[in-house]
Amino acid sequence: MPRSKRGVDVRIITPFIPDKKIVQILTRSHYDNLLDSGVKIYEYTPGFIHGKTFVSDGECAVVGTINLDYRSLYLHFECATYLYNVPIIDNIYKDFLRTIRVSKKINKDVWEKRSLSKKIVESILRMFAPLV
């Protein structure tokens, strides 16, 4: 069972303005399952956002550029910093909350109403996701 279904507050922020449109479509192709699992999704609207930040329970955080995919984890030389039980984690969390305030929340009822053509393109691109 996904953690968000167990009462854990899971929030994801993705860019509204993409650097690569195909990557954005692939990302959005996962929204249905995430929303069904209780994950809250936001799209950052002021510009492009690239950094990856994870904060958990106010005591650990990860900040870096690593995508959670095969290429980033095994083939590329991307990096991140793991922080545990240090005061800066509170600042990272506050920055996350500020970012959410300028982001657009994706609502499941609205998301489900996107066009059939978009859903088909998402499904086709997901077959090629490991290559992107």
Residue 13 within a domain: yes
* Structure tokens that stand for 22 in this block: 């195909």
What pLDDT, on a 0 to 100 scale, did the predictor assign at position 8? Answer: 85
User: What is the total count of domains within the chain?
Assistant: 1
What pLDDT, on a 0 to 100 scale, did the predictor assign at position 14? Answer: 94
What pLDDT, on a 0 to 100 scale, did the predictor assign at position 130? Answer: 73
Residue 107 within a domain: yes
CA dist 115 and 122 (Å) reads 11
Residue 17 within a domain: yes
Residue 31 within a domain: yes
What pLDDT, on a 0 to 100 scale, did the predictor assign at position 123? Answer: 87
Residue 110 within a domain: yes
Residue 29 structural domain? 1-46+102-126
Residue 16 within a domain: yes
What pLDDT, on a 0 to 100 scale, did the predictor assign at position 69? Answer: 77
What pLDDT, on a 0 to 100 scale, did the predictor assign at position 3? Answer: 54
Contact 89, 60 (CB under 8 A): yes
Residue 70 within a domain: no
Sign of torsion, CA 57 62 67 68?
Answer: negative
Q: Which residues contact 69 (CB under 8 A, 6 or more apart)?
A: 130
* Structure tokens that stand for 84 in this block: 């545990």
* Structure tokens that stand for 117 in this block: 């053509």
What pLDDT, on a 0 to 100 scale, did the predictor assign at position 1? Answer: 45
Contact 57, 33 (CB under 8 A): no
Q: Which residues of the chain fall below pLDDT 50? A: 1
CA dist 80 and 54 (Å) reads 10
